[in-house]
A and B are shown apart, each in its own frame.
Chain A
Amino acid sequence: MNMGKKELLLPEKFTIENIPSLFNELKEVKEDVNIEIDFKNVEQFDSSAIAFLNHLKGNNKNVSFKNVTSEFNGIFKIFSPSENIEQGLQIITTKKRFEHIANKFLKLRSNFKKYILLLSDEIYYTIQYIFDRKGVYPGEIFNQIYHIGCSSTSILCLISFLVGITISITTLDQLNNFGADIYIADIVGFGMVRELIPIMTGIILAGKIGASITAEISSMKVLEEIDALKTMGLVPEKFLMVPRLIAITVAVPLLVAIADVVGIFGGVIVAKLFSGIQASAFLKEMFITVDLKDFFIGMGKTMIFGWVVVITAGYKGFSVEKGAVEVGIATTKSVVLSISLIIVLDCLFALLLY
């Protein structure tokens, strides 16, 4: 049974500017009220007007029109969706929570498999390249050594020096209470060579080199350059990754050696300035605790971190499908994953080597 009738006289301009006020006017009208819409004054209308009427008809079955022109009727038919919107909306299915978790787990497993496959492929391609110099652009390895090595040296030196100073200052204060100032050399030397320099170098490589590798490869993927390489009979995973892996293998020992020296130098300066310990005494004490084995362990760890950074960066770069947005997301994910893996591996090394 109808509760009443509402008449709505449309304005001259039945356009998007007037829709909000008309919408608000009819908002309070109950569903079973007859709404009569009068087109008498309408001289101009647009698609939002038709959308508004479609919405009204969808919500209230008792809508009727008065004084409608044939022009409006024709356009109304064209603009009313021919397909069923509700049917279209049903495409979105709400996934159940457990299904969602299971899907996440399956995706994680599949990603891990892809990562391991890329890692094994790269090991194979690198060994293959050492014996048969094909499939890599000539001179690219030297370019990459320059890019990875030179571009990271200054920032690594600065950070190593500052960390050396910070560790020395904070530790010296405690040692001073026990009159054991000289042991600052052992702490700085051992800490820097075995732990801090490897992890810092790894993080710097992840942020600087890893990000640039992912951004470069993913952009190439989006711009179909990877497909172009394939059509030229090249293996993109070899063409792009092997030079970077070889370059990081060459550059890392040099970077670590420089960073060790600079970091310890920071410690020497603090020891001299705050405790009057001579450089010769510092180094003599340091070499009692730190030997060549520690230096090689630190270097070996950094080398592994470097490989992890390059493989992770390549993995994330190649996993991009389409679109500029994915490039940014892949780059961020690459850095986060590299740093996480470096810290996990460092923890494992600590358990295994001490």
Chain B
Amino acid sequence: MKEIIRTEKLFVGYGENIVLRELDFIVNKGEITVILGKSGCGKSTILKTIIGLIPPISGEIYFYEKRMDYLSENSVNDLYKRIGVLFQNNALLNSLNLYDNVSIPIKMHYPELPKEVEKEMVFSMLSQVGLLQSFNKFPSQLSGGMRKRAALARSMILDPDIIFCDEPTTGLDPITADGLDELMLNLKNVFGITLIVVTHELRSIEKISDKVIVLKNETVHFSGKYDKLFTFNDSFINKFFLKE
């Protein structure tokens, strides 16, 4: 299976404050990798570090076998076209309606694309997430679940290779959360999109994950297939999954 992201001896944190150390893991194409761990263990920090929002303290991050910090500004911008990010608080722009929010990446990266095609793309994407009828509404007029789906539509609009999701189903009811999980599975199965998901939700982990990375004591405690998680018979993992 083709490798998309690899980290080697990665130290992440803020300034001199190390949150996670010596991280070595691989994310393969077309897989859903779930990162989990206790609150405050650095799950979101590692996601932001991989995306390039927080500089790593030391170590290496490889995207498609190329070291992130060796890429030129243009290459990094090209890379950003190939990734989508679903932020924890959705990060929709409140001053724009749904259509405009979802069309931002097209307008910014492909300004020459005809408006008619842009419209088809945005409506098609909104239809995928079940928000077509709300295209002219503002984020403040939407429910939490609708905002999540709108943010996911924005992250998917340029057919990214990878989507990073920071706690996508947290705070949603089980039915809405399940719908979002289905959507993520569809993205993987139909379009072969790779997803890296940070979550606490046990139902989501069980449903969507191909691979699990468990963080504990500032480092990777377990990294492997979801099926192998319980053969490990670890007290922390058993407690996490309420099996103890």
User: Hey, which bits of chain A sit against chain B, CB under 8 A?
Assistant: 16, 19-20, 23, 46-48, 50-52, 54-55, 58, 74-75, 78-83, 85, 88, 91-92, 321-326
Contact = CB atoms under 8 A, between A and B. Distances in A.
A83 B157 CA distance: 18
Interface residues of B, number: 31
A272 B91 CA distance: 62
Interface stretch (B14-22, B38-46, B130-138, B222-230): B130-138
Contact of A88 (B125, B133, B186): B133
B140 interface: yes
Given A16-B159, A54-B120, A88-B133, 8 more contacts: A47-B124, A50-B124, A52-B120, A55-B119, A75-B191, A83-B127, A323-B138, A325-B94
A332 to B, nearest CB: 14
B108 interface: no
B121 A48 contact: yes
In order of increasing CB-CB distance, the 5 nearest A-B pairs are: A51-B120, A323-B94, A81-B127, A322-B140, A51-B121
Specify the main secondary structure of chain B where it touches its partner: helix
Contacts of B121: 47-48, 51
Contacts of A75: 190-191
Contacts of B116: 23, 55
B190 A81 contact: no
A174 B120 CA distance: 71
A19 B132 contact: no
Interface of B: 94-95, 110, 112-114, 116-121, 123-128, 132-133, 135-136, 138-140, 157-159, 186, 190-191
B95 to A, nearest CB: 5
Specify the main secondary structure of chain A where it touches its partner: helix
Contact of B140 (A20, A92, A323): A323
B102 to A, nearest CB: 12
Nearest to B133: A88
Nearest to B157: A47
A103 to B, nearest CB: 18
Contact of A52 (B95, B117, B158): B117
Contacts of B112: 20
A321 B186 CA distance: 36
